[in-house]
Structure 1
Amino acid sequence: MFGMRLNPMKKAKTKHLPKGSGKDIEKRLYRALEAHKAGRLDEAWEDYRRILSVNPAHPDALHLSGMILYARKQFERAVDLIQRAIRLKPNEPMFYYNLGATLHELGCWEEAEAAYRKALSLRPDYAEVYSNLGNTLKSKGKFTEAIASLKRAIELKPDFADAYCNLGAALAAMDATQEAEACYQKALAFQPRSLQTWHNYGNLFRDRDRFAEAHMCFKTALEIDPSRPESLNNLGQILMLQGDAVESLRYVKAAWDLKPDYWAAGSNWLLGLHYPGTVSEEDIFSAHRQWAKRVMDAYPVVTTAYDCSQRADDRIHIGYVSADFRTHSVAYFIEPILTHHDRSRFHITAYSDTEKEDETTDRLRGLVDSWKQTSYMKDETLIETIRRDGIDILVDLGGHTAGNRLVMFARKPAPIQVTYIGYPDTTGLDTMDYRITDAWADPPGMTDLWHTETLVRLKSGFLCYRPSDHAPEVGASPFDANGYITFGSFNNLAKVSDTILHAWAKILALVPNSRLLLKARPLKDPQVCENVLQRLQRVGIDPHRVVLQGALSHKEHLARYGEVDIALDTFPYHGTTTTFEALWMGVPVVTASGKTHVSRVGCSILHRIGMEELIASSLDAYVAKATELALDTRRLVLLRQGMRHRIRASTLIDGRSVTGSLEEAYLWMMENRKEGR
């Protein structure tokens, strides 16, 4: 919160001005402040400028001018003006308070904390400062200190709605769900129209799989302010998680249109375009280029030369950037790579934007030469860090998924930049040099046209999976116990397009007494289940033949594959982790191939274990293959019994082979750069 308060003018400030000018300045200052409070920023700015033309050393006019620049998101210029005001009036706590708020927006959290603590040294009962300090401490990962600071703000000001909201966010980060919910309720009791509180409350429900309640929160925020981009984006994301990809796209696109530099909303839109199956390859590529152009127009490429002279060795330095170095799909695929990198030739640095670390994070940290916690770093600081580290090849593991750093990649912090694993398409950036894939997911000549990157196809296949330590042994055929076939899909609901639902309806109609088991995290919510059943009914699937399962522990999740005879891949957006998991648990996967990477990942996986016969060239063929397999129960038993042997004999879990192919690609990239290609 930005403070706006003026101390009474003192004669000492005006005694050296021309006769009458002091009183004129005082009148103009209060007039400007009234305009400022009313939101007439241009009018206020002009008055502040006139005051400073008469008295350039007027601390209040400097400070308030800085506040206008803050409102206009010109944070660096705002810092300069507020610091000038502080030099003239060093004992004004509000100046330090607003300096801290501005530095926080710049991601300069150490400096912001110092400013807030200075304000408190001058005014120990400043509740607003304690609240903002709590936010900054939370951003630094100091959750215990943040909570203490926010509680102190509430002690000083018991009806402080913003402090309750901020405290709720800090408690939520510590998984103190009930306490966080109580804080949000308290904040809304004091300030029912607080958009930030409704957003935070919705995020709490979303993260706890209470999707209907999250939907209600974001819908309420939108009713309060229908043009608020954050509300539109949040509601769109909830709709996507619940499987309504088409409606979701409408909201996230509106958010990005209203706020063209809302890069996260733009990325959400790009990811969402892959789900419905109604958007052409040309239009999806054009959308990625549109996003990239906006970014690259806003942020110039770093022009200083790359300097590796400070490095301690002559190894090739690789940097991996991810917000998903935790128990997450990306981690399942990057861990075998980190495990098998040849550390005599490659120096590996992980730039981790992971905010909530876990046992997987700890395991990954031990597999690299250098681990940098970067979630608190602004892009400029991270760019400086990468350049100081002398990175030769910087690898993005997120693409347009949550928590990505593509805006930083747009500025070209490393001489060679690569995107890998996390996203099934181009980034759209001219500064992203390569994308790692294989000849099955991206056949030569089929998808190159839709990429700004040069496609590098690993001969081993581009994915390598680390089977979970929690995976149970493969069990007996469910058909033998049940007497009927159970089809299953454990993919996220956004991938369950209307197109694939119609195919599933045909399969169930052709296989008597068969069942469909759908598992997805949002299906823990009764309202989401009701919505899904209604969708199934609309395509002719009897709800009595459907079993819905919500979130489970990972061990329970894998065990649930023991109830599935045949896994049905989604289309056009294939499963990836779910396909690996199904196969590892002995469940054959039937997939339909498309014309882009997003609809060919299943083809890559099945090719590598010699199961091309489960790849259909059309949805009609997909229905036929699933039906044929379901009616051959003896074959199902044999496939189940032999599946892990097939996988172990392939490169799917051969980390040494896949990493070797990847390292060959890195060496080739280095040679290209050396030769200027």
Structure 2
Amino acid sequence: MLIEECSKKGEIDSRDAINLGGLLRQQGRLKEAEKHYKNTLELIPECIQLRANAINLFIEARKLEEAENLNIAGLKLNPEDRTLLETFGRVSLGKQEYQKAKSTFEKLLKLDKHNINGFLGLGQAMDALGNWEEALEIFQEMKKLHPKDERGTTNQLLMLQRLGRHREAEVIYANLDPNQKASVQIKTALANLLMDKQDNETAERLLSNLCMEDPYNSSHWLNHAATLKALKHNNASCRVIKEGIKREPLNSDLKLALGQSLAEMGRHKAAISCVLEASNNFNSMNATYLTNIQFIGAGYNLIESIERKRIAREWEGKTQREGVGALWGDRIRSNMRKRPLRIGYLSADFTTHPVGRFIYPVLKNHNKNEVTVVGITCGPHEDILTHKIRMECDEWVNINYRTDLEAARILSDKQLDILVELGGYTAHNRLGVLVHKPAPLQFSYLGYYAPTYLKCIDGWIGDKELFGGLNSTDSESHKLLLVKGGYMSFFPEAMPKIAAIREVRQLQFGCFNHARKLTHECIELFCNVMRETHRETKLLLKSISFVEKVEQHRIKKMFAEAGLAEDKLITLPWVEGWDNHMKMYNEIDIALDPIPYGGATTTCEALIMGVPVLSLAGEGMVGRLSTSILINAGLSKWVAKDKIEYINKAKSICNNNHLSKEEREQVRYQLMSSSLGDPKRLARELEKIYDNEQRLRNS
């Protein structure tokens, strides 16, 4: 009351105003605190501490525009005040205006070359700008000047992790004393390092404790959830994210993570709702948000194509404005007539992953007199197939620890004629690199089931059947480059054994696709198949997510709600190793392709094991993956045009009973003797496309 009375009289003591503001914040009366700061600053605008406290309140409330306005007004009165420069830098970081933050903290350090918050803020701005080497130097200097402040060490470890210099980080950590190792910040840095090294089990235990020690740090919850997801415990991951949201209900990163988790659990409408809410109407969209919106929106037709195109183009425009233009034109290029075409393949999945398995035979069969193959990896994992793929490449580049602009410069120096990205909007994609146009021609191929819509993509490689269900927006977003005989090839190095049915058993349908593809529409179709076959049949499901019992229970409940008797459904456990996985196909007689998001890898696997695959020719590329495979394999008899025909074809196959071992081997022979079993054919067709598009560009 005294403050209000003084305010009315125009007389107020700055110490009282500061103390009251602090008391209101301490009591959680934030609205009153905001009003108090606004009123008192009109009377005593020159009080820097009061203004700084007000700015900090608005930063904490994420009201960054109001915080910035207060800051600017204060700097007009005191342009070199160190406290206000620090808060202005923090506001700029919060608004993702990293260049402005960098300039502000540089000015602060000119005024006070030992200012610890200046070092911290400048390092954070450099990190956000992707200048990791410079950020590392800043944090090293900070550590030297302020050796007792653990933030210097923490951020030094973080930058070394960003740069992939794990051994240096491990040496620094090993030399810390026990008290330092026990600090929350150091343990946080260690957890990040463990995750980057793919030691998810150790990281998960450490992060579980950090969530309890420091529960209001959203990064702990996000990283804990990420480690659980990496360990295939998606339901547990979802529970962790929800616990984090209880602490920080407005945190956009947690909402985005929840959307990802819900999508993995097949709750696609709830997932896209979370992602859209987290994206804040696309005003400050980054590549991670874009990836999730596109992947979920396209996979389950939850966002119209025209809207996905608009979102992608807005992000591309924003990214281009932050860049330096097309980089390939900045280089003096060698004479193409005297050398093979230089083709770069970019992927995060040059591993035992569907993309790795499908692209390996292509690389192995490229005519090295016609093309020079440059493998460009951007993924966090490597395995035995990575090394095989690398051996088939003439050159190998790792851009995993490079920013988009740095990576684009490196690829531009490679003088690629064509850059083929294999990931689209999938995990660890680097579409931001392509926006900077490191190659004169850039194509999308193989790893993603929809267009990227980006103008920097000059062509989309597929085939007639694959693109047969595209709507006008999707078909016009890129030039469609058609591969004769099918856009892919399946040629396992070792053929798994087809076993004879060991005993007389019931006919068994099966679906080995990820459980996230089992939408309500899909489950209803599968249940109708089971009902209409009018005989004792069972349905076998296998998914990598079934490592969790709770996930098996969730799927069983959905089928029960759709009317399928409990004894009709069998969920198979996840098994380690491709050979063990392939043996499981001996247990099914007919594979059911899911809708609307069909299979590709599982379709090829089933056919190679002699199992008929029923597919519905749906909408978009996502609905034609199996259709393309079956038609190009000469097995169009198993492609249905609608749900009724899908059910009727299932009934027809059932009437023929179990396929014998010989009949299954005939299905395999049909696949392997078709164009899909000929990787040399695919390599030549791709080379024709590359050559033709290069000639058209030069003509």
The two structures have a TM-score, normalised by structure 1, of 0.88
Greater alpha carbon shift after TM alignment, 72-81 vs 299-308: 299-308
1:493 corresponds to which of 486, 492, 515: 515
Query: Contact 2:204–2:224 at 8 Å: present in 1 too?
Result: yes
Pair 1:565 & 2:585 matched:
no
1:110–1:466 CA distance, 2 compared to 1 (3 A): farther
Q: Aligned in 2, Cα 1:171/1:339: closer, same or farther, shift over 3 Å?
A: same
Structure 1: gaps (5+ residues):
1-25
Q: How far apart, CA to CA, are the structure 2 residues paired with 1:652 and 1:605?
A: 7
- Which residue of structure 2 aligns with residue 10 of structure 1? none
Return 369-378 or 135-144, whichever deviates more.
135-144
Is the Cα–Cα contact under 8 Å of residues 329 and 577 in structure 1 kept in the other structure?
A: yes
Distance (Å, rounded) in 2 between the aligned partners of 1:609 and 1:318: 28
1:34 to 44, 53, 71: 53
Residues 305 and 474, structure 2, Cα contact 8 Å, conserved in 1: no
Q: Does the 8 A contact of 1:159 with 1:190 survive in 2?
A: no
CA spacing shift, 1:354–1:49, aligned 2, 3 Å: farther
Partner of 1:322: 347
Amino acid of the structure 2 residue aligned with 1:231? L
Write the mapping of 1:27-426 to structure 2, written as runs, cut at 5 A: 30-38=49-57, 39=59, 40-52=67-79, 65-87=88-110, 89-147=112-170, 149=172, 155-157=178-180, 160-258=183-281, 260=283, 261-276=285-300, 284-300=304-320, 302-303=325-326, 306-311=329-334, 314-426=339-451
Pick closer, same or farther for the CA change 1:375–1:28 going to 2, 3 Å: farther
Residue of structure 1 in register with 2:638 after alignment: 614
Aligned length: 640
**Paired residue for 1:17?**
none
Q: Which amino acid aligns with 2:509?
A: F
**Aligned-pair CA distance for 1:534:** 0.9
TM-aligned CA distance change 1:317 to 1:360, over 3 Å:
same
Q: Deviations over 1:527-566 (max 9, x none)?
A: 1111111110111111212111243222221121121111
For residues 636 and 447 of structure 1, the distance between their equivalents in structure 2, rounded to whole angstroms, comes to 44
Alpha-carbon distance in structure 1 between the residues aligned to 2:174 and 2:281 = 36
Picking from 469, 481, 489, the partner of 2:503 is 481
1:138 deviates by 1.6
TM-score (norm 2): 0.85
Cα deviation, 1:174-208, whole Å, max 9, x if unaligned, reads 34445323322332332222211111111111111
CA RMSD of aligned residues (A): 2.7
Q: In structure 2, which of residues 567, 591, 602 is the aligned counterpart of residue 544 of structure 1?
A: 567
1:120 and 1:73 mapped to 2: Cα distance?
A: 25
The superposition leaves residues 589-623 of structure 1 with CA deviations (integer Å, 9 ceiling, x where unpaired) of 11111242221121211122211111111111111
Report the CA distance between 1:44 and its aligned residue.
2.7
Describe the SS at the equivalent of 2:585: helix
Distance verdict in 2 for CA 1:442–1:448, change over 3 Å: farther
Change (3 A) 1:324 1:643: same
Paired with 1:132 and 1:429, the residues of 2 have a C-alpha distance of 35
Matches within 5 A, 1:521-670: 521-553=544-576, 554-633=578-657, 635=659, 637-670=661-694
| Distance in 2 of aligned mates of 1:122 and 1:635 | 76
The alpha-carbon deviation at position 643 of structure 1 amounts to 2.6
Q: Which amino acid aligns with 1:95?
A: G
Please report how far the alpha carbon of residue 664 of structure 1 lies from its aligned counterpart in structure 2 after TM superposition: 0.4
Aligned-partner SS, 2:379: coil
Letter in 2 for 1:615: V
Find the residue that maps to 1:342 and give its secondary structure: coil
Structure 2 match to 1:20: none
Letter in 1 for 2:315: V
- 2:452 corresponding residue in structure 1: 427
2:13 matched to which residue of 1?
none
What is the rounded CA distance, in whole Å, between the counterparts of 1:285 and 1:258 in structure 2? 17
Distance of 1:465 and 1:552 partners within structure 2: 22
Preserved CA contact (<8 Å) 2:633 2:671: yes
Deviation (angstroms), 1:457? 0.7
Deviates more, 1:81-90 or 1:551-560: 81-90
- Displacement, 1:425? 1.4
Q: CA deviation at 1:72?
A: 2.4
Shift, 1:333, TM fit: 1.4
Contact persistence 1:245–1:276 (CA under 8 A): yes
C-alpha contact (below 8 Å) 1:521/1:551 kept by paired residues: yes
Question: Are residues 400 and 287 of structure 1, via their aligned partners in 2, closer, same or farther at CA, if it must alter by over 3 Å?
Answer: farther
**Contact 1:28/1:51 (CA < 8 Å) preserved in 2?**
no
More off after superposition, 402-411 vs 606-615 = 402-411
CA drift of 1:463 comes to 0.7
| Alpha-carbon distance between aligned partners in 1 of 2:537 and 2:581, rounded to the nearest angstrom | 21
